[in-house]
Copies of this chain bind each other. A is one copy, B any other.
Amino acid sequence: MSTIPIVPDSGTAYGRKAPTHKAELTEVGAGTPMGELLRRYWHPIGLTRDASDTPREVRVLGETLILFRDGEGRAGVVHPRCAHRGASLYYGKVEARGIRCCYHGWLFDVQGHCLEQPCEPQLGERSRGKVRQPWYPVQERYGLIWLYLGPPDCKPLLPHYDALEVVETGEFIEADDSSIGGGGPQIIPCNWLQHYENLVDPFHVPILHASFSGTQFVPAMAVMPEVEFETVEAGVRTTSLRQLPDGTTLRRISEAALPTLRVIPNPRIGSYGRVESIGWVLPLDDHHFRIYVAGRVKASGDLVRMRSRLNGKLWEELTPEEHQRFPGDYEAQVSQGPIGAHSEEHLVTSDRGIVMIRKLLRRQLDALREGRDPAGIVRDPQAGPVRFAAGNYLLQRDSAQPQPALD
């Protein structure tokens, strides 16, 4: 039998290596590099109304905690297991001075001080002073509850933001917890970095949000932009220029800022000008995140109306077939896996924003290791609000640079 020489197939999936991910950039548990970095900042963990006399379980950076508001109006966040014998304070009774465990009635204030031990009439204040329910400091601003989970002696100030402080006539600040921008449900089952990196990826917009889904935003957004990336002090700024059919140019600036900020102008471009809202990507654990948003609105509910729709349907109203046929941010990012397989990536020129944000994160890990504050930490009470260049701007045909320089 004469045999024909056969060229073996190339590039098949046989023998490929087990995928790996960049743990130092993605994992958020206590004691991990990124977990400790994120613990140096304040994070929004609920809406103001979430702190009430009904204890509420919250997940943050791999920790489960109990949020409540005592009868004097103070919001508190405590470790769920009662310091006595570990019954959960989820079943606690909220009183004027704090939260009382259901099992033996120990009462704790918002800072974990033990105020009462009703089954211990012999034990006085001194004994109670040795008991402390683990707690975290809380602040409230912009309709959100903020939590600091880091080392006590590193606690920074909770920053003010220009976009939320300088409010125009008829506008007010509203907060939202529906994970606007996530393209799916409130809790999104993949690592937070997959979403955070998406913020510095304007190229996917004309593909995922126009070619695949139909025009999800506005026709202008379907144009493939010219893009410039820039690392600024505490983030990566993306400037996208789109030449529009009428000869004007859409100049769109968005920022991914430390620690987890989405500073993204409305992709539906209701009006031109500076960014309307700020979002915070909250890692619940290594494999889940959600997004809190605060923004300037003219009517209550303006924020939640920004949630993505497809043929008028919200994500949870789509059939499995529609999810497959019209994928959005949720499908693209969640399908990267619980944590993306970085070892299998092929980054190209359009991914340089992603390269930059990873470098920025690594520099902050270095800062921590070297005992310095990471970028974006505010310690000066006199510092003015943080300003971003982000916004949608329209350049007229003859206008070369219509915007004031921002930095």
Partner of A86 from the list B118, B203, B345 (CB cut-off 8 Å) is B345
Are A337 and B86 in touch, CB under 8 angstroms? yes
Report chain B residues within 8 Å CB of A325: 54
Partner of A91 from the list B30, B224, B332 (CB cut-off 8 Å) is B332
Chain A contacts with B in 323-373, Cβ cutoff 8 A = 324-325, 327, 331-333, 335-337, 340-341, 344-351
Chain A contacts with B in 49-69, Cβ cutoff 8 A = 54-55, 63, 65
Cα(A382)–Cα(B1), bound, Å:
9
A313 in the interface, Cβ–Cβ < 8 Å? Answer: no
Are B345 and A102 in touch, CB under 8 angstroms? no
Cα(A399)–Cα(B112), bound, Å:
46
Are B341 and A81 in touch, CB under 8 angstroms? yes
A184 in the interface, Cβ–Cβ < 8 Å? Answer: no
Main secondary structure of the interface of A (DSSP, over half): loop
Chain A contacts with B in 236-292, Cβ cutoff 8 A = none
Chain B residue nearest to A39 (CB atoms) is B14
Are B327 and A91 in touch, CB under 8 angstroms? yes
Closest beta carbon of chain B to A86's beta carbon, Å:
4
Are A324 and B54 in touch, CB under 8 angstroms? yes
Cα(A335)–Cα(B87), bound, Å:
5
Shortest 5 CB-CB distances between A and B: which pairs?
A: A88-B335, A13-B134, A11-B132, A8-B152, A91-B327
Partner of A345 from the list B84, B212, B331 (CB cut-off 8 Å) is B84
Q: List 17 A-B contacts (CB under 8 A).
A: A11-B111, A13-B65, A14-B149, A16-B134, A81-B337, A83-B344, A83-B346, A84-B348, A85-B351, A86-B340, A86-B344, A87-B333, A103-B204, A104-B203, A104-B208, A119-B203, A119-B204
Report chain B residues within 8 Å CB of A54: 324-325
Chain A contacts with B in 119-169, Cβ cutoff 8 A = 119-120, 122-123, 127, 130-137, 149-153, 155
Interface size class for chain A?
Answer: 35 or more
Are A105 and B211 in touch, CB under 8 angstroms? yes
> C-beta contact mask, A224-238 vs B, less than 8 Å → 1, else 0?
100000000000000
Cα(A127)–Cα(B346), bound, Å:
11
Report chain B residues within 8 Å CB of A120: 348-350
Q: A120-B349, A336-B86 are in contact. Are A137 and B212 (CB under 8 A)?
A: no
With contacts A13-B135, A14-B152, A84-B348 known, what are 13 further pairs, Cβ within 8 A?
A11-B132, A16-B79, A19-B81, A54-B324, A83-B344, A84-B345, A84-B346, A85-B346, A85-B351, A86-B337, A103-B332, A104-B208, A117-B348
Cα(A14)–Cα(B131), bound, Å:
16
A310 in the interface, Cβ–Cβ < 8 Å? Answer: no
Report chain B residues within 8 Å CB of A155: 8-9
Chain B residue nearest to A325 (CB atoms) is B54
Are A380 and B136 in touch, CB under 8 angstroms? no
A93 in the interface, Cβ–Cβ < 8 Å? Answer: yes
Cα(A127)–Cα(B347), bound, Å:
12
Are B345 and A85 in touch, CB under 8 angstroms? yes
